[in-house]
Amino acid sequence: MITRLRRESKRILRPIANALTKIGVKANEITIIGLVLSIIYFIVLYISKNPLYGVILLALSSFSDALDGEVARISGTAGNKGAFLDSSLDRVEDTLFLSPLVLYFQPVLVSLLVGISLIIPYLRARAEALGIKAEGRGIIERGERIIFTMIILILLFFNFTFTIYVFYLFIALSIVTVIQRFQLVLSNLPK
3 Cβ partners below 8 Å, 6+ apart?
Answer: 135, 136, 141, 143
Task: Give one word for 165, left, alpha or beta, with left for phi > 0 and alpha for psi -120 to 50.
Answer: alpha
The identity of residue 151, as a single letter, is I
178 Cβ partners below 8 Å, 6+ apart?
Answer: 116, 119, 120, 123, 138
Q: In this structure, what is the dihedral angle of CA atoms 179, 184, 186, 191, given to the nearest 10 degrees?
A: 150
How many C-beta atoms surround the C-beta of residue 136 within 10 A? Answer: 12
Q: Considering the candidates 65, 68, 90, 94, report the single residue annotated as catalytic.
A: 90
Q: Is 90 a catalytic residue?
A: yes
Pick the closest to residue 101 from 56, 168, 189, 36 (CA basis): 168
43 Cβ partners below 8 Å, 6+ apart?
Answer: none
The identity of residue 73, as a single letter, is R
Rounded distance between C-alpha atoms, residue 44 and residue 164, angstroms: 22
Catalytic positions, written as ranges? 90
